[in-house]
């Protein structure tokens, strides 16, 4: 089943173009927050550059059309808003889909559902995505394809025992076609990992001890994420720890846990837009 | 049942490259060992790690394989329950979760190894089909069905080893989702599933010795349940007996009574289930069933009384 068609991947990552896309994504998410209150802005903002680098650089497309040869799996389901707005830009989801987000006539909820175009797995409960990604990567190896599985996880998910079961299994099975990008914003729902769960760190060393290749990058530097995700990692699965800021780009959201699940009021919305555009 | 499942899976796996099996540190019995040595790529042991066993089979099914997850029933269903629910059932993937030793099969190992409410729990989850064959032949038929189906996830509850073949003379074939007549009769209809069917046959013999004509039905598919077939039996027989190796809450007994109420049936219904208790009794499987009030003598006495 192996295919030798040329891979449809960009050779270089245009950082300026990526910054423009990411600004547009953040604006779009803020716009949606003024229509429906049910969304996780800060957890989406922390992984904007990660998900953008994957969709606009790392994932190989099929020779034509909007389908991908590689798999993107959003394990941190609560961050799905960034995936939705990117899928909208790519034409996989429609504007009408996004307009009906979290409305009874629509098909997009605050966590992604398997069966929706572009969605590789139903997530939302943390600690599930990596196990599913391991099964997907294993299946592609068995079928002898060159499909690679890219899984974006929250750091909080690495507190789940199931994640570590999956970490062991991936290394035992030699899943060199599996890449995990951890959105390491240092916040779980309640508090900072580095304060409340100090044994959570170090991460790179933990992953290496579990038989993974691992490296750390600035998760808001798209080019760095792009390069790390494509780095050679031999017969091992690869973990890229992306250091990020929860709520990145909006001063009052950054590092403030309440914004895990709050929508800005009109004044806050206007301020957020000013800040994003001022930084651009 | 376990060995017949293994033989059947091995034969099917030889011709269908999509079939794979993921176990969690359980020794591969009989032909599963043969499958493992002939097809090592399609055999995975996750070790003592059941959440990844279920997560993996979900991902494998999404990428075109037809995986089976396989371990002791308590660890196949209870330990990774949320993974069964979210990864398999919510995503509605064609995966078979095989639970070995349903009920109190592992009689000396204590309640940590007793899947005494597995059918109740499995039945409550949307999309999950629940199958509990009564003997090796039914295990074979069910395995064939599971390997070929595209319907969604299945919980396949098997016994252990050494169950007698009870369905050889059955007038009905095994059909997914249909009650199956194993023996015909006119006065009393006994409905059972799983390994306790052997006791149902023994009860039937005693009732026949007491002059009753007894039919035996295998309710091998607990979900989706053949409600129409059950309503028909409740109309046809003046006396219906349910025997199950499962907790009283949410099992077949409650379902039969529900159908009886809904269909206005007038049959007398006797139901025999495991007790709603963790029993600290260590002995043979038969000893445990007796301790739960499921001895052949006790059941017969209550039916005739």
pLDDT at B139: 98
Q: Do B86 and A168 touch (CB under 8 A)?
A: no
Residues in chain A: 280
pLDDT at A8: 60
At A63, the pLDDT band (50, 70, 90 cuts) reads confident
Q: How close is the nearest chain B Cα to the Cα of A279, in Å?
A: 40
Mutate to test the interface with A, among B19, B52, B90 (most CBs of A within 10 A): B52
CATH 3.40.50.970 matches A15-279:
yes
Give the number of A-B residue pairs with CB atoms closer than 8 Å: 97
**Residue ranges of chain B assigned to CATH 3.40.50.970:** 2-158
Q: How far apart are CA A270 and CA B300, in angstroms?
A: 78
Residue in B with minimal Cα distance to A133: B59
Parse chain A into domains and list their residue ranges.
15-279
Is the minimum CB–CB distance between A30 and chain B shorter than 8 Å? Answer: no
Instruction: Give the DSSP H/E element, type plus range, for residue A135.
Output: helix A129-142
B46, B54, B90: residue with CB nearest A122 = B90
Mutate to test the interface with B, among A132, A134, A172 (most CBs of B within 10 A): A132
Is the minimum CB–CB distance between A169 and chain B shorter than 8 Å? Answer: yes
pLDDT at B41: 98
Binning chain A into helix, strand and coil, the percentages to the nearest 5 are: 45, 15, 45
pLDDT at A7: 53
pLDDT at A6: 42
C-alpha neighbours within 13 Å on the C-beta side of residue B167: 27
Per residue in B141-197, pLDDT (tens digit) is 999 999 999 999 999 999 988 899 999 999 999 999 999 999 999 999 999 999 999
Per residue in A80-97, pLDDT (tens digit) is 999 999 999 999 999 999
Mutate to test the interface with B, among A139, A140, A147, A211 (most CBs of B within 10 A): A139
Low-confidence ranges of chain B (pLDDT < 70): none
**Residue ranges of chain B assigned to CATH 3.40.50.920:** 180-304
pLDDT at A88: 97
Is the minimum CB–CB distance between A122 and chain B shorter than 8 Å? Answer: yes
- ipTM surpassing 0.90: yes
Report yes or no: B296 and B204 within 8 Å, Cβ to Cβ. Answer: no
pLDDT at A90: 95
pLDDT at A67: 86
Is the minimum CB–CB distance between A126 and chain B shorter than 8 Å? Answer: no
Verify cis geometry, omega within 30 degrees of 0, for the bond prior to A202: yes
Percent of chain A scoring above 70 in pLDDT: 96
Taking CA atoms, B116 is separated from B30, B103, B131, B201, B295, in Å, by: 26, 4, 15, 21, 17
Residues of B with CB under 8 A from a CB of A: 20, 41-42, 44, 46-47, 49, 51-52, 54-65, 67, 82-83, 86-87, 90-91
Please state which CATH number belongs to domain B2-158.
3.40.50.970
Q: How far apart are CA A182 and CA A138, in angstroms?
A: 20
Residue A212 in this model has a pLDDT that exceeds 50: yes
Q: How close is the nearest chain A Cα to the Cα of B52, in Å?
A: 5
pLDDT at B27: 81
Give me Rg for the CA atoms of chain B: 19
Per residue in A119-133, pLDDT (tens digit) is 999 999 999 999 999
B56, B64, B67: residue with CB nearest A134 = B56
Taking CA atoms, B303 is separated from B12, B188, B190, B197, B214, in Å, by: 43, 9, 11, 16, 12
Q: Which CATH number fits domain B180-304: 3.40.50.920, 3.40.50.300, 3.30.465.10, 3.40.50.720?
A: 3.40.50.920
Give the β-pairing of B129-131 and B221-223. Answer: antiparallel
Mutate to test the interface with B, among A135, A141, A145 (most CBs of B within 10 A): A135
Is the minimum CB–CB distance between A166 and chain B shorter than 8 Å? Answer: yes
Q: Centre a 10 Å sphere on the Cβ of residue A7 and count the other Cβ atoms it contains.
A: 12
Residue A4 in this model has a pLDDT that exceeds 90: no
Residue A58 in this model has a pLDDT that exceeds 70: yes
Q: A236: which residues sit within 8 A by CB, 6+ positions away?
A: A171, A174, A176, A211, A212, A213
Report yes or no: A179 and A240 within 8 Å, Cβ to Cβ. Answer: yes
Residue A43 in this model has a pLDDT that exceeds 80: yes
């Amino acid at each position: 089943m192996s295919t030798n068609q040329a891979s449809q991947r960009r050779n270089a990552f245009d950082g300026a173009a990526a910054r423009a896309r990411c600004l547009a994504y953040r604006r779009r998410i803020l716009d949606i927050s003024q229509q429906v209150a049910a969304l996780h802005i800060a957890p989406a903002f922390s992984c904007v550059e990660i998900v953008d680098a994957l969709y606009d650089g790392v994932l190989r497309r099929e020779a034509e059309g909007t389908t991908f040869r590689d798999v993107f799996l959003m394990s941190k389901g609560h961050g799905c808003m960034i995936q939705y707005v990117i899928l909208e830009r790519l034409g996989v989801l429609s504007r009408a889909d996004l307009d009906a987000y979290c409305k009874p006539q629509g098909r997009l909820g605050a966590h992604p559902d398997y069966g929706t175009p572009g969605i590789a797995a139903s997530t939302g409960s943390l600690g599930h995505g990596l196990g599913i990604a391991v099964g997907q990567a294993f299946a592609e190896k068995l079928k002898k394809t060159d499909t690679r599985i890219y899984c974006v996880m929250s750091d909080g998910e690495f507190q789940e025992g199931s994640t570590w079961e999956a970490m062991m299994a991936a290394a035992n099975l030699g899943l060199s076609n599996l890449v995990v990008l951890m959105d390491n914003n240092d916040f779980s729902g309640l508090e900072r990992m580095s304060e409340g769960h100090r044994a959570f760190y170090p991460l790179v060393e933990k992953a290496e001890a579990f038989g993974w290749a691992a490296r750390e990058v600035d998760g808001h530097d798209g080019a760095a994420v792009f390069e790390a995700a494509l780095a050679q990692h031999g017969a091992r699965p690869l973990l890229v720890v992306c250091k990020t800021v929860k709520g990145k780009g909006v001063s009052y959201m950054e590092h403030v846990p309440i914004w895990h699940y709050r929508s800005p009021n009109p004044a806050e919305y206007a301020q957020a837009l000013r800040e994003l555009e001022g930084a651009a | 049942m376990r060995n017949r499942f293994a033989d059947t899976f091995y034969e099917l796996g030889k011709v269908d490259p999509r079939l794979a099996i993921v176990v969690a540190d359980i020794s591969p019995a009989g032909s599963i060992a043969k499958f493992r040595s002939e097809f090592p790529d399609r055999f995975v042991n996750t070790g003592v790690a059941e959440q990844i066993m279920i997560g993996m089979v979900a991902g494998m099914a999404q990428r075109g394989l037809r995986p089976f997850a396989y371990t002791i029933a308590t660890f196949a269903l209870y330990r990774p329950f949320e993974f069964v629910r979210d990864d398999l059932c919510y995503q509605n993937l064609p995966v078979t979760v095989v639970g070995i030793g349903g009920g109190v099969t592992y009689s000396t190992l204590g309640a940590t190894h007793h899947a005494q409410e597995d059918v109740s729990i499995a039945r409550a989850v949307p999309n999950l089909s629940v199958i509990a064959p009564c003997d090796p032949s039914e295990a074979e038929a069910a395995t064939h069905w599971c390997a070929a189906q595209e319907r969604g996830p299945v919980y396949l509850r098997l016994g252990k080893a050494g169950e007698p073949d009870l369905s050889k003379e059955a007038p009905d074939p095994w059909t997914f989702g249909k009650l199956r007549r194993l023996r015909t009769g006119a006065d009393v209809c006994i409905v059972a599933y799983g390994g306790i069917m052997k006791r149902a046959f023994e009860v039937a013999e005693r009732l026949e010795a007491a002059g009753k004509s007894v039919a035996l039905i295998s309710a091998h598919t607990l979900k989706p349940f053949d409600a129409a077939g059950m309503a028909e039996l409740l109309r046809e027989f003046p006396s219906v007996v349910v025997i199950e190796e499962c907790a009283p809450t949410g099992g077949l007994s409650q379902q039969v009574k529900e159908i009886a109420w809904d269909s206005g049936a007038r049959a007398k219904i006797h139901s025999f289930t495991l007790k709603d208790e963790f029993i600290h009794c260590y002995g043979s499987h038969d000893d445990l069933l007796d301790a739960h009030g499921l001895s052949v003598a006790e059941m017969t006495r209550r039916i005739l009384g």
